[in-house]
Structure 1
Amino acid sequence: MIGVIGAGAFGTALAITLARKGTPVRIWARDPATVEAINTRKEAPRLPGVRLPEGLTATTDLAEVTQAQTLLLAVPMQALSGMLAQIDAPLAGKRLVACCKGIDLATLTGPTAVIASAKPEATPAVLTGPSFADDIARGLPTALTLACGDDATGAEIQAELSGTTLRLYRTTDTTGAELGGALKNVIAIACGACIGEGLGDSARAALMTRGFAEMTRLAVRLGAQQQTLGGLSGLGDLALTCSSELSRNYRFGLALGRGEPFDNALTVEGVKTAEAVTRLGAKLGVDLPICAMVNEVSTGDTSVAEAITYLLNRPLKEE
C-alpha cells in the first residue's frame, strides 16, 4: 500500500494513477465529505468527471495512512511542517515523498530539509516537474523528477511510482530539483503579469529566460548541479507553468497585470515562495531582481508597470 496525505487535486491524481496499475492506495483527507465522496461514490471533488479506481480508498485517520512504507505528502509547502507535526506514528525506515513546490518561510529551506528536520528517522524525497493534476488523473502522458539523496532508495521509489502514463526520472540532487520547482512558480507570476499588462510574448520570453538564469544562479550557489535545472524539474516545469492558464501562478499574474481580483481561496505557492526566495537571496548575496519584483508586486508595494520599468532600467551586462 502507498499512503497519500492530502486529497487536493494533485494528491488525488497521483493516487488515481497508482491505483490504476493495481497498487492499493489509501488517501488522507481532512474533510469527511471528501472521504465519503471517494469511498461511496468513487468521485473526487477536486477532479470532477474522473471515475476513481477500486483500489483507492480514503480516510480521515492519519494512523491508517501512515502504515504505508511510502508516503506521498501532497500538502502546500507552507503547511508541510505543521502536517508532519501531526504524525505520531513511528516512521523509521519509511520514505516520505514531498509533492509540494516552494521554500518554507520559517526556515528558508525546501521540503526535504523540512522533512529531515521533523522526521529524521525517515528518508526524504521530492516529486516535482511539469504536470497538471487533471492530465495525470486522466491518464495523459506525464514525466516527473524524483529526487532523493539516497540513490538506492530513490530507485525503489522510482519503480514503485512509475507507470504506463507516469514516467519518473531519478536524481540525487534534491536542492536543484526543489529550487527549480519552487522558483518556476515565481517566474510564472511574472510572465502572467507581463501578458496581463499587454507587454507581449517577446517580453514573456525574456522574463522566462532571465528568470531561468536567476533560478540557476541561486541553485548552484546552494550546491545544486546546473544540469538539474535544465531538466524536467527546472526548464521543463518553467516552460509549462509560464505558458498555460491552467497554472494558478500564471493566472494570478494575469490578474495582477489586468488589475483584476483573484480568488483568495486558491493556494498560489509562488507568492510565499517569492517572499522566501527574496529573503534567501539577500542573505546569500545572490542577485534575484525578477523574484524581488514579483514579491513587491504580489504584496502591492509596487505596480506591474513600475516593476517592468525597474527591470528594464537595470545596468546593462553580459549574458
Structure 2
Amino acid sequence: MAAQLDSRRRSARSRAIVLIVAVSALLAVLVVASLAVGSRALAPVDVLSALFSERRDTVGVIVHELRVPRTLTALLAGACLGVAGVLMQALTRNPLADPGLLGVNAGAALGVVVAIAAFGVGTASGYVWFAFAGAGGAALLVNAAARPDRRNDTVGLILAGVALSACLSAIVGIITLADDTTFESFRFWAVGSFERRDADVSAQLLPFAIVGMALAAVVARGLDHLQLGRDLARSLGVSPALVTIASGAAITVLCATATSAAGPLAFIGLLVAHAVRGAVGGSVPVSLPLAAVTGAALTLASDIVGRVIALPGEVEAGIVAAFLGAPLLLWLILRRTR
C-alpha cells in the first residue's frame, strides 16, 4: 500500500512538472498576445522590440505604459486566485467552494465605494488600499462571527461569510443608488477589469501576493493531512484549528490582493481548482505551483478575449471569466444532485 501511494505521488509530481512547463510556455505566448492586441494591434516583432528597448515612440508608449502594467496585474491576480481556489476547496472539501465565500469580495467592494464616495478617489492605484482594507476587515469579521470554540469549523466560516457578504452588498447598493457619480465609477471596478491599470497597482500588491503564496506553501502539507480526517491529522501531528486559521489567512490575503487589483473576478478560482485536480489529483503541495501558472494563464486569456471580441471597445475580463465559469458551476450542481 505504501509503495503504491509513493508511486502515485511520484506520478502526480511528474505530471505536474510537465504541465507546469507546458502552461508556462502557453503563458509566454499569451503575454506577447496581451502586449500586441487592443484597440491598436501591434506586430509581435514590434512588441518584442519595444519590450527589450527604451523606445519612446507610439509603439513604445503603448507597450510600456499601457499594456505591460495591465498584463502584470492580470498575471498577479490570476496566480493569486488560482492558488486561493485550490486552498479553498481543499479546506472545505467542497468542489463548489469559491475563494469569495469568506466575504472578501464584498468587503473589497465596500472599501472601493467608500474611497469613491467619501474621498473622491477615482484611480485604481488610489483605491487599491481601500479595497485591501475592506477585504481584510471582512475576513476578520467572518472569523469573529464564527463560534469562538469552533474556529476550525469550515461550515461555520462559510455561513458567516455568506451572511456578511449579503449585508455588505446591501450597504454598497444603498451608497451607489444614492450617488450617481459613485455608481458610475464603481460599476467599472465591480465587473472585474484590468483596463487603465498602471504599474503602481501591481508593485503595491506584489509583497502581499508573495506573503499569501508563502503562507499557502506552509499550510499545503497540513491541508493534505486534514483531508484524511481530523482525528488522523491530529495523530500525524497536525493541528486542525491552526491549519484552518492559517489557510483562511492565506485565502484572505490572496483574494484581497486579486480583488483589490482588478475587482471581483468570479469563477477563476473555481475553474482552476477543478482543472488542476483533474490533472494531478488532490495533493495540495503538488497542485499549488500548477494552480498559480494556470490561474495566471486563464485570467490573462480572459482579458485578451475581452479585448478582441468587441473591437474597438472591449468586454471586461470578469464578464468573460463568468461566461466560462457559470456553465461549469451549473454542471457541478446538476451532477451532485443526481
Could you state the TM-score of these two structures normalised by the residue count of structure 2? Answer: 0.24
Structure with more helix by fraction? 2
Scaled by the length of structure 1, the TM-score of the pair is: 0.25
Q: Per residue, is there more strand in 1 or in 2?
A: 1
